[in-house]
């Protein structure tokens, strides 16, 4: 993607965003609320049109061929899009039928096993924990085997145990060859998961690199008794400042 810009009325949200994501990797887009993360994901997933710039997903221009892009991707938002009245298996079967896949039951059963939900397959989703609901949501988004998945702040509102469950799921996806673009405002999440991290601040990418490369932006820790290496939080706060104005979560 090159030079992506987007404004809402007189408010510029994206001011020329550039980055590339390697196939089969986890790429974290890290930024505070209002930085423009969700807007960028919506542009990449064809839900919004950029005012300027050029974006290609899976080798396809998002503006010229949006239908092809949608066939290659899946998007999971901040809140699990599951039906609490249905069972876990019924949710998966429903999506498989909507995608006109052969043998929806087998598709559902395979995903329930893959995501550790087989024992809860016949339970109503309303009885699931937050982590289970999120794992089911991600499983539903993988029906049809899209090569690219966008996860927009997937652990928002989850407790630490549920977050760890989602983290494991994301790592398993990448090991299986799925390309993951993850947006997050949690520094530890980006630090734990990502192969590369881009920091989005006030509508632009201010740094992009591996965790090791970002840590090198700060001087090494002072040695007293123990050498303290800079964390991703140290890097982030040094780049954007200790407080970032909350401009609202632009969508």
32-68 tens-digit pLDDT: 888 999 999 999 999 999 999 999 999 999 999 999 9
pLDDT per residue as tens digits for the range 99-125: 899 999 999 999 999 888 999 999 999
Burial 228-244 (b: 16+ CB within 10 A, else e): eebbbebbbeeebeeeb
Alpha helix locations (H) across 28-87? 37-44, 66-72
Contact 37, 1 (CB under 8 A): no
Q: Does residue 1 register a pLDDT over 80?
A: yes
Dihedral pair phi/psi, residue 188, rounded to 5° = -65, -30
SS3 content of the chain, % helix, strand, coil (to 5): 35, 25, 40
Residue with tokens 């999120």: 134
Instruction: Tell me the HSE value of 210 on the side-chain side, using a 13 A CA sphere.
Output: 5
The pLDDT tens digits for 158-201 are 888 888 888 988 999 899 999 999 999 899 999 999 999 999 99
Domain architecture of the chain: domains with CATH:
2-240 (3.40.50.300)
Q: How far apart are CA 165 and CA 135, in angstroms?
A: 8
For the record, the structure tokens of 144 come out as 């049809």
> Which residue reads 């092809």 in tokens?
68
Q: Look at residue 152 and tell me whether its pLDDT is greater than 80.
A: yes
* pLDDT value of position 220: 72
């Amino acid at each position: 993607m090159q030079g992506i810009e987007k404004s809402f009325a007189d408010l510029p949200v994206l001011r020329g965003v550039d980055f590339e994501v390697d196939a089969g990797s986890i790429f974290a887009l890290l930024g505070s609320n209002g930085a423009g993360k969700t807007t960028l994901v919506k542009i990449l997933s064809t839900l919004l049109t950029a005012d300027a710039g050029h974006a290609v997903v899976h080798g396809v221009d998002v503006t010229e061929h949006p239908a092809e892009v949608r066939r290659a991707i899946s998007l999971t938002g901040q809140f699990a899009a599951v039906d609490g009245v249905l069972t876990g298996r019924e949710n998966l079967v429903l999506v498989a039928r909507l995608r006109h896949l052969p043998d929806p039951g087998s598709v559902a059963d395979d995903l329930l096993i893959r995501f550790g939900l087989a024992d809860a397959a016949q339970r109503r989703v309303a009885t699931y924990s937050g982590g289970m609901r999120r794992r089911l949501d991600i499983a539903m988004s993988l029906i049809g085997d899209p090569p690219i998945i966008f996860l927009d702040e997937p652990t928002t509102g989850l407790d630490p145990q549920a977050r760890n469950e989602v983290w494991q799921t994301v790592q398993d996806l990448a090991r299986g060859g799925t390309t993951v673009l993850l947006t997050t405002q949690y520094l530890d999440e980006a630090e734990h998961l990502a192969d590369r991290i881009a920091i989005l601040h006030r509508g632009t990418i201010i740094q992009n690199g591996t965790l090791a490369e970002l840590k090198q932006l700060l001087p090494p820790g002072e040695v007293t008794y123990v050498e303290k290496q800079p964390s991703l939080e140290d890097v982030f706060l040094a780049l954007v400042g200790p407080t970032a104005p909350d401009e609202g979560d632009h969508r």
